[in-house]
Amino acid sequence: MTKLHTQSEWIARARDILPAGGFGNFDPGIVISRGAGSRVWDEDGTEYIDYLIGSGPMLLGHSHPEVLEAVFEQLPKGQTFFANNAAGIELAEEICRAVPCAEQLRYVSSGGEADMYAMRAARAFTGRDKIVKFEGGYHGMSAEAQMSLAPAARVNFPQAVPDSAGIPQSVADEMLIAPYNDVAYIRSLLAEYGGQVAGLIVEPLQRIIPPAPGFLQVLRDECDRYGIVLIFDEVVTGFRFAYGGAQELYGVTPDLCTLGKVIGGGFPLAATVGRADIMAHFDKSVVGPEGWLMQLGTLSGNPVASVAGLKSLEILRREGQYPRLRGLGEQIMNMIHDALGPTGLPYHIVGDATLFEVVFTSQTPQDYRAVQAGNASRSKLWNETLRHHHIFKSPGKTYPSLALTQDDLSMTEAAITAAAEALVVAS
């Protein structure tokens, strides 16, 4: 077989065999060849500074030497066993030490699975069926999660809009959708339906939107009032916002939370964690066959991902890592302000120093609809210009990593300046 050398050849080959020409994740118009530290290279050898970092898990950068050493040490001992292994047990212990809500843990392979099982556990624990989620909140690919993630139609709350074909109407009937950051609405919703609601699932920082002051505490209080399981989806924020995640940073403890990305050190690993009395539903000997929540997975807690996660968490515990990460994010945010401020164009940098994005709008976005109301053509030009200047990122998020160097920051600043200039020319 003739070896393909150009990116365009790989793209053409992908179109023949993959629906929409891709894996369903990122832009199929780019094929990544390799990554090292803060950089990635495509199949044509073009080098980029990586602010996508695998959609979040590569917080330490690509191919961190200490993580690789741990993985290489494990590989000759076996890749996976479908049985307990010491590294997985040790990692579970460390996660439960770090995360405020975590008393027990059950592994899966993806964040979406973790969210699915968290919602199912809430139903098993309460004996109720309804789940509350927030419009625009991302919780994986389960039928429940694919309700009002990115609805094209603006319907009245709490009606759920399926984002995917193939989902029965019966699923939508058990989902209640609320606007994020709207305290009055969530109180009124739960006053009507609270006795039927098993769980309320929320990203503490919804995509890029921070919680309004006191909003998460209101959720905690209302869930306590109605006996609802409060679930924080910390697949993104866990071990990124702080070592104990967003619940440590914001000071609100849920009943369950879901983790992924960082805990696997770049390998497939995620977990549902939380209160022992809820997690007991994974143990038939405790809750009996009627209350048992069956869960298994071929690669759940596999030793390669576990040793990568253990080493990653060890590195994150070292002095100064989180202040440095936040400092890097703040520098980039300041670059954006310095470049866009003089243009006079309306914009807001939305998010946290560890995860943020520019939204071209005059109003501070508080929910999904406000973000969607931003100027999409300016966002498109902004991101296209950054890509042209070798910045690799999602159109909707910027992920700083601890691998960023001063050279990276200088190149990033030049790219941001160019992007701002392109917006001025287009305006």
State the catalytic residue, choosing from 48, 51, 107, 138: 138
Q: Do domains 31-63+320-426 and 65-316 have the same CATH topology?
A: no
pLDDT tens figures, 241-261: 999 999 999 999 999 999 999
What pLDDT, on the 0 to 100 scale, is given for residue 139? 97
Q: Which of these is catalytic: 115, 182, 233, 352?
A: 233
Identify the active-site residue in 261, 322, 352, 367: 261
Told to judge if 138 belongs to the known catalytic residues of this protein, a careful annotator would answer yes
Distance of CA 342 to the CA centre of its chain: 32
Structural domain boundaries in the chain: 31-63+320-426, 65-316
Give yes or no: 261 in active site.
Answer: yes
Phi, psi of 132 (to 5 degrees): -100, 130
Protein fold of 65-316: Aspartate Aminotransferase; domain 2 (3.40.640)
DSSP state of 210: P
Cα(409)–Cα(400) distance, rounded to whole angstroms? 10
Quote the DSSP letter at residue 103.
S
* CATH number given to 31-63+320-426: 3.90.1150.10
**pLDDT single digits (tens) 119-139:** 999 999 999 999 999 999 999
DSSP structure class, residue 155: P
Q: Respond yes or no: is residue 233 known to be catalytic.
A: yes
pLDDT in tens, 329-388: 999 999 999 999 999 999 999 999 999 999 999 999 999 999 999 999 999 999 999 999
pLDDT at 153 over 90: no
Q: Distances from the Cα of 190 to the Cαs of 211, 219, 230, in angstroms? A: 19, 10, 13
pLDDT at position 1: 46
Give 269-323 pLDDT, tens digit per residue. 999 999 999 999 999 999 999 999 999 999 999 999 999 999 999 999 999 999 9
Name 224's Cβ contacts closer than 8 Å, sequence gap at least 6.
Answer: none
The pLDDT tens digits of the residues spanning 17-27 come to: 999 999 999 99
Question: Would you place residue 4 in the very low, low, confident or very high pLDDT band (cuts 50, 70, 90)?
Answer: low
